[in-house]
Chains A and B, each alone.
Chain A
Amino acid sequence: MITLIWLELQKMFRKWRTYIGFIAIGFLAIVVQVALYFTGAKMIDFQMRGIEQSFVMVGNLFNGYFIARFILMALIIHIPFLIVIVGGDLLSGEATAGTYRMLLTRPASRFQVVTAKFIAGWISVLLLLVWLMFLSLIVSLLLFGSGPLLSFQGMKLVIIAQNDILWRFLCAYLFALISMSTVISISIFFSSFVQNAIGPIAATMAVIIIFLILSAIPIDFFQTIKPYLFTNHMSQWDGFFSDPVDYGEIFHSMWYLLAHIVVIYGITTYIFIKKDILS
């Protein structure tokens, strides 16, 4: 099984498409940081106007943590686009290339093959997020220095102490990993039906976009179903920057997403095992 996953990763990382996400994130994270480096201080001044008079601020508020959260917030909505490029190709790519005939006439069972594909997909998400974390958190801390984190919770302003922040980032990234794994799982699911990668990419994005739109429509019916749409739970990573953290809500969302992953993986595996390979 380990061999199978390792081989999947090798195939994945020898494809040009796999690097699109890394390049896009690398580019965006750096552009945002450079832009903030030169102009950003004004932004925080604006946000802090009025507050500065009432408090005596200690330390640098326009620091690496602030930037890292800013970047995470700005990019996370778009990362699904980058993830499905890889996920949509995972199974369909073998069909397009005709390589199923080589892959599935080996000792490994279809269950093992599809499981290895899913695990490789999740690992690719993990690597992409580690890359994002490296660029946004580590580089930002180096560029902008450390300090307490300023966080708005609705109308309330929370200041999180410098030594209380790092674990929140790690948890937020862990949560993002679960959200994005849900996304890639959906794209792998769609990918098992077709012979090209475009279909699954479009289908996954369509699902996400439709769900997002539905939850944004202020009609009672849609507001009632909103809590059941997985997209609604994907942004819970930000919950770790509240004080105190509402663990109940976070765990609820986490289990909800994990359940999605398990069910999607299960259905895909079932379909894949039954499927006639005609490509």
Chain B
Amino acid sequence: MDGTTLTRFIRLNHQTNGVILNSEQVIEVRGLTKKFGSLTAVNNLDLNVYRGDVFGFLGPNGAGKSTTIRMLLSLIKPTSGEMKIFGKSITKDRKEIFSKIGAIVEKPDFYLYLSAYKNLEILGKLSGADTSKKKIMSMLELVGLEKRYKSKVKTYSHGMKQRLGLAQALLHDPELIILDEPTTGLDPQGMKEIRDLIIYLSREKGKTIFLSSHILHEVELIATRMIIISKGTAQVEGTVEELLKSEKVVVTFEVDKIEEAMKTVNESKWKENFKSTSKSEINFELTKNEIALLNKYLIEKGILVSAVVPVRSLEDYFLRITEGGTK
């Protein structure tokens, strides 16, 4: 199994697990709105995150992701709306709720004049974590900073701070992990490590993860469910599969007899789905079901299909949804 297959394998499995676990609602948000003066940063947002979810919170820059996370974490007050975490009110049951949350909000900032170790010790103590040397060092090892644990955070690169951010979010073994764009500033290797870590936390440790991102690919790889927001408003919500089910995908069919194939297509109802053609390939815009049907049709007509390659369309979908502003 190569890397992607493994990821997909994990994801599929997770989803089956997800169905079993999807009962308790961890985050429940109704009609959340935040206005900065005349600007509405978050508009009437509803969120439902269930135990065991890796919930993708997707939106372009300025969509209101960080603003929403700040409200969830009580850093700013909503203009209106209701929020419950673990079924409780974040103002009334603050202590109980916040000892079970680990979070990164926007860029990772630390006490620059303190070492990574000391930062973790202080933040861990605030959350009631085990701050023994062993525990802190193991956390630093997990994020690959154990060699630099004595260095002041001042001397850290952005990527290293991002890793330390993850460490502080995980130190007290929280049930809910809220991560605001945790992979910005990381190299591809680091991004992959974090993705794998999130999958591990979700699958092996049963954590609930709320992951904001503007990179669709990232969310798609690891999220079980997601919501796409734009200009503060939710556009669509569901599993990646659900979102794509009714969506047309551009699919490339590799065929042996291109001219004959084109003729066959032009004589059938598939003509409507035709997009373009090149040497030995024909591109169609199809839903998932139609892919199979067209494949069958071509083979029946004696045309050999050597490959059916879906062109990445989720990206287009994302762009269309977020730019259009409405569904």
Chain A contacts to B: CB under 8 angstroms:
3-4, 7, 10-11, 14-16, 97-109, 274, 276-278
Per-residue 0/1 for B74-99: is the Cβ within 8 Å of any A Cβ (1 yes, 0 no)?
11110000000000000000111011
Nearest CB on A from B156, distance (A): 13
Please measure, in the bound complex, the distance between the C-alpha atom of A106 and the C-alpha atom of B112, giving whole angstroms: 19
Given known A109-B94, A276-B77, A277-B75, contact A101–B126 (CB-CB < 8 A): no
Tell me what chain B mostly uses at the interface: helix, strand, loop, or mixed. loop
**Residue contact A7 to B126, C-beta cutoff 8 Å:** yes
The distance in angstroms between the C-alpha atoms of A75 and B113, with both chains bound, is 30
**Hey, which chain B residues are within 8 Å of A109, CB to CB?**
94-95
Q: Are A99's CB and B75's CB within 8 A?
A: no
Residues of chain B in range 98-131 having any CB-CB distance to chain A below 8 Å? 98-99, 101, 103, 105-107, 109-114, 118, 122-123, 125-128
Which of A4, A16, A106 lies in contact with B123, CB distance below 8 A? Answer: A106
Any chain A CB within 8 A of the CB of B168?
Answer: yes
Report chain B residues within 8 Å CB of A104. Answer: 73-75
Closest 10 CB pairs of A and B: A98-B109, A276-B76, A106-B126, A277-B75, A107-B98, A101-B105, A105-B73, A107-B99, A107-B95, A106-B127
Q: Which of A11, A105, A106, A278 has the most CB of B within 10 A?
A: A105
Contact B113 A14 (CB under 8 A): yes
Q: Does B70 contact A (CB under 8 A)?
A: yes
Closest to A98 in B: B109
What is the chain B residue whose CB lies nearest that of A278? B76
Interface residue SS majority, chain A: loop
CB distance A97 to B110 under 8 Å?
yes
Q: Which residue of A lies closest to B105 (CB)?
A: A101
Which chain B residue shows the least CB distance to A109? B94
Residues of A within 8 A of B114 (CB): 11, 14
Residue from A7, A100, A105 within 8 A of B125 (CB atoms): A7
Distance in Å: Cβ of A17 to nearest Cβ of chain B: 10
Which residues does chain A contribute within 8 Å of B77, judged by CB atoms? 274, 276
Q: Are A97 and B111 in contact (CB under 8 A)?
A: yes
Residues of B within 8 A of A10 (CB): 122
User: Cβ of A7 and Cβ of B122 under 8 Å apart?
Assistant: yes
List of A residues within 8 angstroms of B105 by Cβ: 101, 105
